[in-house]
Amino acid sequence: MTQTGRMPPPKSPGFEANLRTIPIDAILPVKQLPVTVTKSQKYGQIAATIREVGLIEPPVVARAAGQDGSFILLDGHVRLHVLKEMGETTVTCLVATDDESFTYNKRISRLATIQEHKMILRAVERGVSEARIAAALNVNIALIRQKRTLLNGICPEAAELLKARHCPINSFRSLRKMKPLRQIQAAELMIAANNYTVPYVEAILAASDATDLVDPAPKKPPAGVTREQAERMKAEMANLQKNIKLIEGTLGPDHLRLVVVGRYVERLLQNDRLARYLDKNHGEILGEFRQIVAGLVQPASTTEARRSETE
């Protein structure tokens, strides 16, 4: 409600209510795909999915201003290219009410490894064969079987910790060699370090006591690592885990204090007289203050943008 007591006007929807079937020739792309796009893995996966399942996500278009019957392609360049190669002449599209040509895929949350595993299990339970899933994703059937049995030997608590993480499949292979309690500790270490790579999980495995392993037989040190180095790595990993636990206990209060202090410094710097005084007499302190304020609002990470599909 506004200050005058009136309800604000409703926001206009971002898309038209109904999907629209549009001739492909009437859709104008906003960018040129590279010549090598058809050789990429992502292109192969999209093409295989459309062939096996059909078009799941409709391309997004906007009406071209001043060109009746023409549309601007905002999202779905690869999908449209695949349909053209298949000889299709029309495509069902989602029509946006504006022409903001930002990349929609950069706003998508990619499937985590365990989420993908659960989707494959659900598809198999509903009668979809592993061969068809592999064909739709353009991968080897052995990889589908590996993803289907991903959580075999993984305790529910560790799976819950890693359910939203992009953890490589082979990292779970090392986790299976640990007992449930050690799996939970390993998952906590991976999350704390934001490191889910296979070498890191193998390092945790190498640093685990024999009593924490499913098979307590003496382990061979990793290739190129002496027994003394393995023992040192084990001690360092145990020390790291202890330090992480100590930091976890104070992280919340320390972060709160940092935010409060940072906001106070930000308000100080909004005082022009004070800012000029510091600039004239204490330039180094002013620079430190500005770094503190800048650290409060970090720019959005481009990691997900790098993961976005070729479209």
Mean pLDDT, the chain, whole residue set = 80
Using the predicted structure, report yes or no on whether residue 2 has a pLDDT greater than 60.
no
Secondary structure string (H, E, C) spanning 209-278: CHHHECCCCCCCCCCCCCHHHHHHHHHHHHHHHHHHHHHHHHHHHHHHHHHHHHHHHHHHHCCHHHHHHH
Cα(184)–Cα(15) distance, rounded to whole angstroms?
Answer: 44
| Nearest alpha-carbon partner for 97 in 63, 73, 68 | 63
Using the predicted structure, report yes or no on whether residue 221 has a pLDDT greater than 90.
no
**More confident: 181 or 304:** 181
Q: Which residues contact 148 (CB under 8 A, 6 or more apart)?
A: 117, 120, 121, 124, 130
Single pTM value for the model: 0.54
Q: Residues 79, 59: contact at Cβ < 8 Å?
A: yes
Q: Where are the alpha helices (DSSP H) in the chain?
A: 41-52, 77-85, 113-125, 130-137, 141-148, 156-162, 169-175, 180-193, 198-206, 227-269, 272-281, 283-296, 303-307
Give the pLDDT confidence of 29-54 residue by residue, as tens digits.
888 888 898 888 889 888 988 888 88
Using the predicted structure, report yes or no on whether residue 281 has a pLDDT greater than 80.
yes
Q: What percent of the chain has pLDDT over 90?
A: 23
Task: Identify the three-state secondary structure at position 115.
Answer: helix
Q: Count the residues in the chain.
A: 311
Going from N- to C-terminal start, the domains of the chain cover 15-96, 253-297
**More confident: 11 or 209:** 209
**More confident: 219 or 144:** 144
Q: So what's the pLDDT on residue 4?
A: 54
Q: So what's the pLDDT on residue 11?
A: 61
Strand partners, 213: 178
| Nearest alpha-carbon partner for 77 in 31, 36, 45, 46 | 31
CATH number belonging to domain 15-96: 3.90.1530.10
Give the pLDDT confidence of 91-146 residue by residue, as tens digits.
999 998 876 655 555 555 567 889 888 888 888 888 888 888 888 877 888 888 88
Type of residue at 298: Q
